[in-house]
Structure 1
């Protein structure tokens, strides 16, 4: 029997990267999974790859009506939520002197506002003793140049994990954060600077990592499963860094 047998999971940003790998792993462990994504073609492909244990709901976490529609779909199916992985997010780049209002609106809207209202709107459907996992980033605990706005938005989400762990403890709901390090995803490839190949960029990113490589999405999904399952039943309020040791050594 799988670690999530008979449970219901919701994964935002689940059509690719870490979100897809996590949705797939949750389904393989016995969960029925609802996943979201903004692109219809990518979302349909993700659902097809996962199979009969998945439903895709197209939407954007920055659009509150889309979030309402997501949870209305779960409710209409007569289901309640045991695992919520608020994974959807986006990276912004730019030094202090270059940050624009548009950059600020994008980073805070997608990473902070999106996470906040995803969890808030899920509350009526969350079962007691459910697990909430928030996607943060190792950058939130570092001072890496050029990603200050992104790092700040993810650090804010980490703060919310602490607060919500306290606010929801009376229902036995655990709230934890998953902080991935650099991972082989479409987002990492898209961040490749001009003049470099994705392979060269990955090698550059991996160079300071103690384990000498970037993570695979499946490794992040394994950590998400740990936080989602009873294997972490006495853990709440933490931020789990899955980063090859870069923030620890």
Structure 2
């Protein structure tokens, strides 16, 4: 306990799933965490579940005005940020030949533009020696039909981390990517239909994963905690796969 004592963290998309598990663990480890999401009610529920070390910060990371307001709020309350976890992302399935401009814009506005301007907006507040964590996806190493937009947007994240690690080196701000595999979240439940077939599909996934199970949000949260903490002080510009070995074995 206490690995982030005295730190201030922003976790985008933290009203549920991996983001919520991360915000809760960071708070348990002593950080004051700003919980972000587009839906105010869900953000406030998440903050109540986390407790006094959390503050609601609703907003859409794809909107410049929302980001400006969010960072002004943090500046007024806490003056500085130590950790940014750019977790907010969306997926919209569309196969080549059926991709329209609106869907393209929606995915890239959140997954790429949102990440770029979240990190850029945070920089004036970030303490030297801070940590920026970006969320990747194992899908970038696979050819999965219907995932052109999501896979391309997540492939961009790896490139951003390399460039930013070099650019922010003079300030000792570390930039890394944490890449989840199959993680059992509310979103996965919804995608699988939330029926008896869901359990069967989860079992089938587990059989293909060397550790023998589908991951939980807490698995990602613990990896993000390590990367955010001083334990990972010599880890920079890299990508950590948290997938039970699925892509590595």
Deviates more, 1:197-206 or 1:174-183: 197-206
Q: CA RMSD for the aligned pairs?
A: 1.6
Alpha carbons 1:62, 1:113 under 8 Å: kept = yes
Partner of 2:134: 134
Residue deviations 1:114-149 (CA, integer Å, cap 9, x gap): 100000000100000000000111111222222122
Aligned to 1:37: 37
Specify the alignment match of 2:222 in structure 1.
222
- The equivalent residue for 1:115 is 115
* Distance (whole Å) between structure 1 residues aligned to residue 44 and residue 206 of structure 2: 32
TM-score, length-scaled by structure 2: 0.95
- Report if aligned partners of 2:8, 2:78 keep a CA contact under 8 Å in 1: no
Distance 1:124 1:215, change over 3 A: same
Find the counterpart in structure 2 of residue 151 from structure 1: 151
User: 1:161 touches 1:175 (CA, 8 Å); kept in 2?
Assistant: yes
The answer to whether the 8 Å contact 1:15/1:42 transfers is: yes
Match for residue 91 of structure 2? 91
Runs of 5+ consecutive residues of structure 2 not aligned to the other structure: none
Cα pair distance change 1:54/1:201, threshold 3 Å: same
Cα distance per residue 1:171-206 (max 9 Å; x no partner): 000000111111111111222269874323323433
Please identify runs of 4+ aligned residues in structure 1 that moved more than 6 A.
none
Cα distance, 1:205–1:108 mapped onto 2, change above 3 Å: farther
2-structure distance, mates of 1:114, 1:196: 36
Superposed, 1:50-199 pairs within 5 Å as: 50-192=50-192, 197-199=197-199
The residue that corresponds to 2:4 in the other structure is 4
CA distance in 2, matches of 1:208, 1:98: 30
TM-score, structure 1 length as denominator? 0.95
User: Which stretch of the first structure deviates more once superposed, 134-143 or 109-118?
Assistant: 134-143
Assess, with a 3 A threshold, how the Cα gap between structure 1 residues 198 and 102 changes in structure 2: closer, same or farther: farther
5+ long unaligned stretches in structure 1: none
CA 1:194–1:57 in 2, change beyond 3 Å: closer, same or farther? closer
Q: What is the aligned partner in structure 2 of residue 203 from structure 1?
A: 203
Question: What SS is found at the alignment partner of 2:236?
Answer: coil
Q: 1:194 to 1:43 in 2, by over 3 A?
A: closer
| Corresponding residue pairs, total | 249
8 A contact 1:193–1:201 mirrored in 2: no
